[in-house]
Amino acid sequence: MAKLNFFISLLLIVALYAFPAFSEQQASEKELRAVAQELEKLGTLTEPQPVCNEVEESDGLCQDMFKFTCAPGEYNDGTGQAISTGAMEEKMAQTRAKLLPLAKESFLKTLRNPENVYFRKLAVSTLGLTHAPQCAANVKDENCINSIADTLAKLTLKKLYLDPSSLMGMGGMGFGQPFPGFTDLVQLTSNSVFKDTERDFVERTKKEIKNVDFENKINKKIFPEVRKLLMKTIDDRVVDPKIRQTLKEKISGIAFKGTNCEFLGPMPDGEPMAIAMLFVPNAFYDPRSHTFQYCNGFLLSNQSEFQIVQIIAHELSHSIDPCNVSIGPADFKFNYTNVTDTAASEKEFPFQNLISCLRSEQSVHAIKIGVPQIPTIPEPLPSQIPSPIPSQEPGSQPSPTGPVRTLSGKSVAQALGNGNQLILPSFCANDQIGEAFCDWVAAEIVPEYMQKNHPGLSRDQLRTGYSNAWRGLCDNLNPTPHSPQDVHSSLEDRLNKIMLQNPKIRKQMGCTTQPSKGAVYCDPASTRSSK
């Protein structure tokens, strides 16, 4: 300010000489306006406006996105609606109530079929309705059929929602050994007519719950666009041109496998899927089939493109994360010099200097968890190949406990011809760095996608949108402590130390582009200057 006052005084002296009459008589309006404009210019040059820093100090969202992300309610960001965890639970309860009449309708149709006489009698006997007035005279009576259908509908809903109170003793359905007194119920629910009716109900339920239009939008528009942006990120950040091309070719081969994740349920062969699986918010990249799935549960709670893009970008990045980048046929993978030397491998990773930054406390502090071990891929018989069972948090991926499939369909060990098992980099087990890397890539892609596809969003919509990218995964009213054994860093750190530190995101949100206090933006080697 002292410097500014000096220049103002100097300008006034100059003005006195420039306008001799200034000291003797009032200057003209034009002369005064000229002096004022010069003062304004000097003020701007000598003392930059501190507006951004002052605003950010009082603007909590530029420092902490976590609390708003976990807030209750529903939020529309201009690209779609997102609801909180509590609101999703209410929606599930409402959906379940709507499905009861649908289930009853399926069983009414079955019970009225004259070919299902035995099944009607089996149901009457099992449910203890033999001497009930509505069934005693005639099991074809509508009142009797109504009672049976109502009971069977409730039973199948409990079963398909994986309700523990109904699963006890249903040993015939793969949930444990039968208990005494439940054998009649097992026989009823194992009957082929019951199972066929249940399957019919499940198919009708899928049509009610699944969002086909959104699945098509992901397949035709969002997924291809995110894949292109991921390849652009590789272009910008991977210095070695040969490795750059290898990673891009690997990304180009990933296929979208849809939103049907019903196989994740604990249902044995021959059983209809668990409806509960339609509500599970999940997504994952499967390195064995080189495919990506976006489970229907996410679309029920969050249709914001901020979350959809963030999750797709995260999952596709798993194909080139510090572990999976070294998995695949020779033409589609990166080779570490010594996979057992973690320190050396971190330096060799194609995104130079990124791993060391993500491991720092100023960033997400991705650590190795549990007991260090050298991960291997066993080579079991084909019948032993497991299906991926990812966790319920986005950003998860199947654990490499079975043979990883290459793009050609062969296991890695077979493709490389190296015996019964393949030694993987230490990143592949008990390490948070894979998830941290994918979070970082997603944070690079989301603002690029929004700038290209939604350039008209307001600052407030963008702020809501970046919070919606993670909405539904936490709840301020029911906080869940972070497990020290989780391969993900805490959700709070993932939001505040990766996404919120990206300069493009900060700029779109109206924050200063400099990182928050005590945080750092991880900026790996760039190819821009060399192009």
Q: Can you name the residues that pair with 75 across neighbouring β-strands? A: 82
Paired tokens of 329: 């046929």
**In whole angstroms, what is the distance from residue 256 CA to residue 312 CA?**
10
Greatest mean pLDDT among 177-191, 352-366, 469-483 lies in 352-366
DSSP codes of every residue in 176-223: SPPPTT-HHHHHHHHSHHHHHHHHHHHHHHHHHH--HHHHHHIIIIIH
- What is the number of other CB atoms lying within 10 angstroms of the CB of residue 242? 9
CB contact at 8 A, 517 and 63:
yes
Residue 251: CB partners within 8 Å, gap ≥ 6? 227, 230, 231, 234, 316, 319, 320
445 vs 271, residue with greater confidence:
445
265 vs 312, residue with greater confidence:
312
Give, for 377, the enclosing helix (H) or strand (E): strand 376-377
How many residues are there in the chain?
A: 531
Q: What is the pLDDT of residue 182?
A: 55
Phi, psi dihedral angles at 357 (to 5 degrees)? -70, -45
For strands 255-256 and 291-294, give the pairing. parallel
Q: What is the pLDDT of residue 377?
A: 43
388 vs 219, residue with greater confidence:
219
**pTM for this predicted structure:** 0.75
Q: Is the pLDDT of residue 49 over 70?
A: no
Residue 390: CB partners within 8 Å, gap ≥ 6? 264, 282, 283, 284, 396, 397, 398
Average pLDDT, the chain: 78
Q: What is the mean pLDDT of residues 232-257?
A: 96
Q: What is the pLDDT of residue 129?
A: 92
Q: What is the pLDDT of residue 399?
A: 36
Q: What is the mean pLDDT of residues 386-408?
A: 36
Q: What is the mean pLDDT of residues 67-96?
A: 89
**Region at 294 (left for phi over 0; alpha for psi -120 to 50; beta for the rest):** beta
Please identify which residue in the block is written with the tokens 């499939």. Answer: 405
User: pLDDT-based confidence at 413, cuts 50/70/90?
Assistant: very low
User: pLDDT-based confidence at 33, cuts 50/70/90?
Assistant: low
Q: Is the pLDDT of residue 240 over 90?
A: yes
131 vs 35, residue with greater confidence:
131
Q: Is the pLDDT of residue 371 over 70?
A: no
Q: Which of 147-156, 414-423, 449-458 has the lowest mean pLDDT?
A: 414-423
Q: What is the mean pLDDT of residues 468-477?
A: 88
User: pLDDT-based confidence at 137, cuts 50/70/90?
Assistant: confident
Sheet containing 255-256: which strands, arranged edge to edge?
255-256, 291-294, 283-286
Q: Is the pLDDT of residue 376 over 70?
A: no
User: pLDDT-based confidence at 168, cuts 50/70/90?
Assistant: very low
**In whole angstroms, what is the distance from residue 409 CA to residue 288 CA?**
8
User: pLDDT-based confidence at 281, cuts 50/70/90?
Assistant: confident
Q: What is the pLDDT of residue 184?
A: 85
Burial-class residue 471 by CB neighbours within 10 Å (0-12, 13-18, 19+). Answer: buried
Segment 430-467, tens digit of pLDDT: 899 999 999 999 999 999 999 999 999 999 999 999 99
**In whole angstroms, what is the distance from residue 70 CA to residue 139 CA?**
53
Q: What is the pLDDT of residue 463?
A: 97
In degrees, to the nearest 5, what angle opens at C-alpha 119 toward C-alphas 113 and 120? 70
172 vs 353, residue with greater confidence:
353
**In whole angstroms, what is the distance from residue 351 CA to residue 530 CA?**
15
Q: What is the pLDDT of residue 37?
A: 57
Q: Is the pLDDT of residue 65 over 90?
A: yes
Q: Is the pLDDT of residue 344 over 50?
A: yes
Phi, psi dihedral angles at 65 (to 5 degrees)? -95, -15
Please identify which residue in the block is written with the tokens 């200034």. Answer: 22
User: pLDDT-based confidence at 274, cuts 50/70/90?
Assistant: low
Phi, psi dihedral angles at 169 (to 5 degrees)? 90, -5
Q: Which of 72-86, 187-201, 380-394, 495-509 has the lowest mean pLDDT?
A: 380-394
Burial-class residue 322 by CB neighbours within 10 Å (0-12, 13-18, 19+). Answer: buried
Burial-class residue 135 by CB neighbours within 10 Å (0-12, 13-18, 19+). Answer: buried
Q: What is the pLDDT of residue 264?
A: 55
User: pLDDT-based confidence at 263, cuts 50/70/90?
Assistant: low
CA nearest neighbour of 276 among 428, 162, 115, 183: 162
Q: What is the pLDDT of residue 136?
A: 85
User: pLDDT-based confidence at 149, cuts 50/70/90?
Assistant: very high
Q: What is the pLDDT of residue 207?
A: 82
Q: What is the 3-state secondary structure (H, E, C) of 416-444?
A: HCCCCCEECCHHHCCECHHHHHHHHHHHH
**In whole angstroms, what is the distance from residue 105 CA to residue 77 CA?**
39
CA nearest neighbour of 248 among 297, 165, 295, 316: 316
